């Protein structure tokens, strides 16, 4: 990519770095910023390998070791030498981000010249990517489920507690309840679904083998979620399986309850549903529209404008311009000034 | 214990061995058998350390290595030298008992002279201990939940699928749903309980720390179940927390559904509830009696006559007399004849 300085005064374009680190891998993007308007992306790299997370939190050293070479490669291709600011959005930032907050701003200052680094929970970059600074709610629904709302007073979160404590209505939840209904049918218990039992045995083999399949795994939530599309399929066939349809209606109710807990009331709010769960289609989306209309009258359901990586670039651009339009909150969104250089910079 | 041959003809009393191996440890008991009447216990030893279970099944070698010395010690104290028969009841026998079935009958024949060995799932020894040969249903309810029914046609099982696939109404289930309700209150989601949130934070600390407490554990089901008594407490205080009371009513409904799936209909059936869950008391037992009366009209709820170790002794005595009054079924109950001596004996 050739050097193309399209703006006036600055001799070198101002670059910003956006990072999205989550369970599905690490993505790094570079963009040019101007004095106004959205950042102009000039390249990104993605790796499907997630950054390891131990009991002490996200492995900051491993993230830095993968992030800096990727960023330097992107800078070199864009004929740049440094970034003005960076934003790292990461899953687990709220509870497990301590080491990132301690090490990352200094490393990005030393390694890439970033004077300011924003650290954001992945739900925040997801929100900014989907709705920008517009008040409303973004529901990130895949294997798990979490909702983030924004209003004049700040951020508000609901659920995201994981497959044993919540994530109600998410992929693991739907798969778990669907398999439970399958095994009810196997046992002759009330509330079972022969269709879900047939689907489970077609996918996983005979029912008595299911415990031996799931409990030894370390990715039990993902395994449970792998059955969610079967629940949707059983609810979508003609005639629909009533148990499968009821499970998806209940999931829709849970998602709407979680959304309503964080979304500001009134007609100006926007609601965006992100992640893989909407791919379950109309058996989930039809009752979800009904439940959202009942619980959030006036709110508009909109498609997400962009993804979390675009949200990270947008936040980095705001930080570079010194005009962050969104509320900071410990764990969710913090900005670290590295003007002192070197080690861990203080949060503001 | 002195030698006291109270029966006539046999020069040495006939002894039988009963074994109960489960998640809470290993118990071994010796009893004298006569030509009729129940076996007369003459000693038992208990160890709180469970027999290891790997992906290949219950560790037969480890079980044998702990079982034989304990049995020889009990025999020596009773001035006996051999047992006529043995019954080993073990958790996981159905799916993970392959190595036990292959190795245990031969080892008990070689080491203790047992000519016959019955291998039983722990639910079967639990049934026999609780109800003997009477038709009905025994519900083993603790951290998990499984029901076993007996009628003229044989055994029938329901649930027992573990905390992610079922065990509906058991301790983990109640704890999980209770914690979910606590976190609903924390988030401001509909359906939450401030009382359960207060109870959870008193027991485990601030709500945001809960995921970090539960997900790294290997004993997640037991951890979830540790909250069940708090749910019962919140349902029992005056005024009762309506969410906690509803959770226990729903648990009672699930337990009754599972019981009804295995219990023969009609007025002669008996139902016994075993395990630790009944200790939750009236907030669970009152709706359970109502639900059972509605789903199994005529069935009599009875206290368990004895525990699984007594059930194992009873089965061993029946096998010693050659008069097993209960149906055999692969995985649930099998009798192995070691008259050929030595290695693995065939199942009959």
Measured in angstroms, the CA of B31 and the nearest CA of chain A are apart by 35
Distances (CA, A) of B43 to A183, B39, B81: 41, 12, 15
What pLDDT is stored for residue B345 in this prediction? Answer: 38
For A252, residues 6+ apart whose C-beta sits below 8 A from its C-beta are A169, A284, A285, A287, A288, A290, A291
Choose, out of A189, A223, A226, A253, the residue to mutate when testing the contact with B (most B CBs < 10 Å): A189
Task: Name the residue in chain B with its Cα closest to that of A255.
Answer: B189
B177 and B60 belong to one structural domain: no
* Confidence grade of residue A341 (pLDDT, cut at 50, 70, 90): very low
CB contact under 8 A, A159 and B214: no
What residues pair up with A136 in beta bridges, in sequence order? A150, A270
In a domain, B315, yes or no: yes
Helix (H) or strand (E) segment spanning residue B35: none
Q: What's A230's domain CATH number?
A: 3.30.420.40
CB A165 to CB B211 under 8 A?
yes
B280 and B331 share a domain? no
Which residues from B are below 8 Å from A191, CB to CB?
257
Residues of chain B with pLDDT under 50: 1-5, 7-10, 340-348
Domain with A281 in it: 136-301
Cβ neighbour number for residue A24 with a 10 Å cutoff: 15
Between B135 and A218, residue with greater pLDDT: B135
Q: Do A55 and B257 touch (CB under 8 A)?
A: no
User: Mind listing the pLDDT tens digit for each residue in B257-282?
Assistant: 999 999 998 888 999 999 999 999 99
Closest chain B residue to A175, measured at CA: B165
Residues B171 and B77 in one domain: no
Q: Do B165 and A212 touch (CB under 8 A)?
A: no
Query: Cα-flanking dihedrals φ and ψ of residue A51, to 5°?
Result: -75, 130
pLDDT in tens, A227-258: 999 999 999 999 999 999 999 999 999 999 99
Using an 8 Å CB-CB cutoff, list residues of chain A that contact chain B.
55, 94-96, 157-159, 161-162, 164-166, 168, 176, 179-180, 183-184, 187-191, 208-212, 214-216, 220, 224, 257-258, 260-262
Closest CA to A310 of A122, A144, A76, A148: A122
Query: Picking from A20-24, A105-109, A276-280, which range would have the lowest pLDDT averaged per residue?
Result: A20-24
Percent of chain A, pLDDT > 90?
Answer: 74
Domain match, A325 and A264 both: no
Beta bridge partners of A158: A147
A261: closest chain B residue by CA:
B189
**In terms of domains, do B293 and B321 share one?**
no
| A159 domain residue, yes or no | yes
Q: How far is CA B181 from the centre of its chain?
A: 29
Cβ distance of A215 and B164 shorter than 8 Å: yes
Overall number of domains in chain B: 2
Taking CA–CA distances from A295, the nearest residue in chain B reads B190
Cβ-based neighbours of B10, under 8 Å, separated by 6 or more: none
Minimal-distance CA residue of chain B relative to A56: B212
DSSP B142: S
Q: Do B143 and B290 belong to one domain?
A: yes
Give B323→chain A minimum CA distance, Å: 30
Which band of pLDDT confidence, cut at 50, 70 and 90, is reported for residue A56?
Answer: low
Mean pLDDT of A56-83: 90
User: Does the residue B260 lie in any domain?
Assistant: yes
B175 or A96, greater pLDDT: B175
- Pair A63, A200 in one domain: no
Same domain, A140 and A61: no
Instruction: Count Cβ atoms within 10 A of the Cβ of residue A309 and give its class: 0-12 exposed, 13-18 middle, 19 or more buried.
Output: buried
Instruction: Return the percent helix, strand and coil in chain B, to nearest 5.
Output: 45, 20, 35
Residue B339 pLDDT:
60
DSSP string for B147-173: EEEEETTEEEEEE---TTT--TTSHHH
Mutate to test the interface with B, among A151, A176, A179, A187 (most CBs of B within 10 A): A187
Residue A49 has what pLDDT? 80
CB contact under 8 A, B214 and A176: no
User: Do B211 and A161 lie within an 8 Å CB cutoff?
Assistant: yes
Strand duo B300-301 + A57-58: pairing: unpaired
Number of DSSP helices (H) and strands (E) in chain B, helices first:
12, 13
Does B348 fall in a domain?
no
Residue B1 in domain: no
- Whether B185 is in a domain gets the answer yes
> How do residues A117-175 score in pLDDT, each as one tens digit?
999 999 999 999 999 999 999 999 999 999 999 998 899 999 999 999 999 999 999 99
Count of CB atoms within 10 A of residue A112's CB?
22
- What is the pLDDT at residue A25? 85
Tell whether B206 and B114 lie within a shared domain: no
Q: Which of B95, B162, B187 sits opposite A261 (nearest CB)?
A: B187
- Select the residue of A158, A166, A224 nearest B164 (Cβ to Cβ): A224
E strand or H helix at B327: none
- Indicate if A161 and A253 belong to the same structural domain: yes
Residues A151 and A117 in one domain: no
3-state secondary structure string, chain A? CCCCCCCCCCCCCEEEEEEEEECCEEEEEEEEECCCCCCEEEEEEEECCCCCEECCEECHHHHHHHHHHHHHHHHHHCCCCCCCEEEEEECCHHHHCHHHHHHHHHHHHHHHCCCEEEEEEHHHHHHHHHHCCCCEEEEEECCCEEEEEEECCEEEEEECCCCCCCCCCCHHHHHHHHHHHHHHHHHCCCCCCHHHHHHHHHHHCCHHHHHHHHCCCCCHHHHHHCCHHHHHHHHHCCCCCHHHHHHHHHHHHHHHHHHHHHCCCCCCCEEEEECCHHHHCHHHHHHHHHHHHHHCCCCEECCCCCCHHHHHHHHHHHHHHCCCCCCCECCCEEEEECCCCCCCCCEC
Does residue B184 lie within any of the structural domains? Answer: yes
| Contact: A180, B168; criterion CB under 8 Å | yes
The predicted pLDDT at position A1 comes to 42
A96: chain B residues, CB-CB within 8 Å: 212
Considering the domain architecture, whether residues A114 and A236 belong to the same structural domain is answered as no
pLDDT at residue number B173 = 98
């Amino acid at each position: 990519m050739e050097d193309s300085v399209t703006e006036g005064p600055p001799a070198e374009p101002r670059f910003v770095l956006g990072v999205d680190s989550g369970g599905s891998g690490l993505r790094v993007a570079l963009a040019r910023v101007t004095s106004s308007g959205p950042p102009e992306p000039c390249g990104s790299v993605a790796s499907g390998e997630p950054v390891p997370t131990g009991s002490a939190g996200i492995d900051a050293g491993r993230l830095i070791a993968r992030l800096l070479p990727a960023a330097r490669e992107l800078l070199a291709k864009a004929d740049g030498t440094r970034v003005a600011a960076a934003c790292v959005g990461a899953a687990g930032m709220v509870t497990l981000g301590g080491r990132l907050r301690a090490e990352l701003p200094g490393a990005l200052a030393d390694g890439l010249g970033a004077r300011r680094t924003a650290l954001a929970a992945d739900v925040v970059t997801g929100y900014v990517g989907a709705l920008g600074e517009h008040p409303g709610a973004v529901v990130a629904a895949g294997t798990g489920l979490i909702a983030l709302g924004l209003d004049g007073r700040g951020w508000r979160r609901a659920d995201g507690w994981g497959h044993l404590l919540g994530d109600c209505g998410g992929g693991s939840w739907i798969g778990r309840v669907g398999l439970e209904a399958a095994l009810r049918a196997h046992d002759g218990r009330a509330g079972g679904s022969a269709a879900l039992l047939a689907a489970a045995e077609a996918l996983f083999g005979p029912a008595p083998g299911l415990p031996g399949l799931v409990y030894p795994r370390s990715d039990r939530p993902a395994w449970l979620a792998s059955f969610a599309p079967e629940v949707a399929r059983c609810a979508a066939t003609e005639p629909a399986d009533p148990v499968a349809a009821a499970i998806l209606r209940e999931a829709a109710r849970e998602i709407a309850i979680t959304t309503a807990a964080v979304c500001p009331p009134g007609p100006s709010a926007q609601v965006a549903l992100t992640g893989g769960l909407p791919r379950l289609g109309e058996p989930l989306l039809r009752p979800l529209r009904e439940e959202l209309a009942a619980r959030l009258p006036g709110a508009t359901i909109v498609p997400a404008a962009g993804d979390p990586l675009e949200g990270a670039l947008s936040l980095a651009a705001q930080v570079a311009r010194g005009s962050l339009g969104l509320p900071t909150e410990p764990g969710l969104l913090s900005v670290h000034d590295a003007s002192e250089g070197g080690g861990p910079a203080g949060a503001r």
